[in-house]
Chains A and B, each alone.
Chain A
Amino acid sequence: MNKVEFKQLDETLYHEKLPNGLEVYILPKKGFSKTFATFTTKYGSIDNHFVPFGETEAIKVPDGIAHFLEHKMFEKEDGDVFQQFSQQGASANAFTSFTRTAYLFSATDKINENVKTLLDFVQNPYFTEETVNKEKGIIAQEITMYDDQPDWRLYFGAIENMYKNHPVKIDIAGTVESIEDITAEHLYTCYNTFYHPSNMMLFVVGAVDPESMLNLIKDNQAEKSFEEPADIVRVYPDEPMETAIKERSLEMSVQKPKVFVGIKPERLDLSGEEMMKHELSAQLAYELLFGRTSDFYHHAYENGWIDESYAFDYSLENGFGYALIGSDTAAPEKLIHEIQATLDRAIEKWPFGQADLDRVRRKKIGFFLRALNSPEYIANQFTRYAFNNMNLFDAVPTLESIEVPDLQEAFASVSHESQRTVFTIVPPEKAKQ
Chain B
Amino acid sequence: MFETVNIAKGVKVHVHETTQFKTINFSLKFKDKLTKEKASARSILANVLQHSNEVYPSHTALRMVLDDLYGTSLYIDSSKRGNEHVVTLNVETVNDEYLSEEGVLEKVMNLMYIVLFKPLFEDGLFKESIFKREQEAIKHRIESVYDDKTRYAQQRLIELALPEHPASIQPNGTIEEVGKVTNEKLVEEYREMIENNEIEIYAVGDIKAEMIVEHFKEFFHFADREQAIKAPSTALTKPQQSRVVEFEDMKQGKLHMAFYSPVTFRDEKFPVMQLLNGVLGGYAHSKLFVNIREKESMAYYVSSSFASQFGLLFVLAGIDAKLEEKAVKLILEQLEEMKKGNISDTEIDQTKALLTNQLREALDNARGQIDIYDQYMELTADFEPDYLISRWKSITKEDIAEAANELSLEMTYFLSGKEDDSVE
Contacts and interface: CB of A to CB of B under 8 A. Distances in A.
Interface in A127-141: 134-139, 141
Contacts of A345: none
Interface stretch (A82-90, A179-187, A380-388): A82-90
A80 B294 CA distance: 9
Given A87-B349, A255-B144, A360-B67, A138 B361 contact: no
Interface in A410-433: 428
B68 A141 contact: no
B363 A308 contact: no
B332 interface: no
B330 to A, nearest CB: 14
A8 B249 CA distance: 53
B182 interface: no
Interface in A333-377: 359-360, 362-367, 369-370, 372-375
Given A137-B298, A293-B63, A82 B285 contact: yes
Given A293-B67, A365-B70, A370 B22 contact: yes
Contacts of B99: 365
Interface in B289-316: 289-290, 293-294, 296-301
Interface stretch (A15-23, A147-155, A190-198): A147-155
Given A142-B300, A362-B70, A373-B23, A148 B360 contact: no
Contacts of A224: none
Given A293-B63, A373-B22, A255 B350 contact: no
A255 B293 CA distance: 32
Nearest to A302: B133
B212 to A, nearest CB: 19
Contact of B68 (A83, A108, A147, A359): A359
Contacts of A292: 59-60, 63
Contacts of B346: 83, 87
B319 interface: yes
B300 to A, nearest CB: 4
A160 interface: no
B297 A428 contact: no
Contacts of B20: 30-32
A397 to B, nearest CB: 13
Nearest to A75: B294
A91 B67 CA distance: 36
B252 A363 contact: no
Contacts of A89: 353-354, 356-357
Contacts of B290: 80
B419 to A, nearest CB: 14
A10 B297 CA distance: 47
A255 B139 CA distance: 11
B293 A138 contact: yes
B326 interface: no
Given A83-B350, A135-B297, A33 B361 contact: yes
A366 B357 contact: no
A236 interface: no
A255 B318 contact: no
A254 to B, nearest CB: 5
A365 B358 CA distance: 30
A360 B283 CA distance: 41
Contact of B364 (A32, A145, A147, A151): A32
A372 B318 contact: no
Contacts of A304: 133, 136
Nearest to B104: A366
B137 interface: yes
A253 interface: yes
A428 B356 CA distance: 47
B154 to A, nearest CB: 14
Given A141-B300, A253-B250, A86 B68 contact: no
Given A145-B252, A254-B147, A82 B300 contact: no
A31 B319 CA distance: 43
A3 B23 CA distance: 25
A237 B343 CA distance: 54
Given A90-B357, A134-B297, A362 B147 contact: no
Contacts of A34: 357, 360-361, 364
B360 A33 contact: yes
B79 to A, nearest CB: 15
B365 interface: yes
A144 interface: yes
Contact of B147 (A92, A108, A255, A308): A255
Contacts of B58: 298
A214 interface: no
Nearest to B148: A149
A307 B140 contact: yes
Contacts of B21: 373
A109 interface: yes
A30 B18 CA distance: 11
Which one of B67, B68, B319, B346 has the greatest number of beta carbons of chain A within 10 Å? B67
Given A82-B284, A298-B60, A369-B70, A148 B250 contact: yes
Contacts of A151: 147-148
Ranked 4 nearest A-B pairs via Cβ: A366-B71, A366-B70, A31-B20, A137-B297
25 contacts: A88-B353, A89-B357, A108-B361, A109-B356, A141-B318, A142-B300, A144-B251, A144-B318, A145-B301, A148-B250, A151-B147, A255-B143, A292-B59, A293-B63, A298-B59, A301-B133, A308-B140, A364-B71, A365-B94, A366-B93, A367-B71, A369-B94, A370-B71, A373-B366, A428-B249
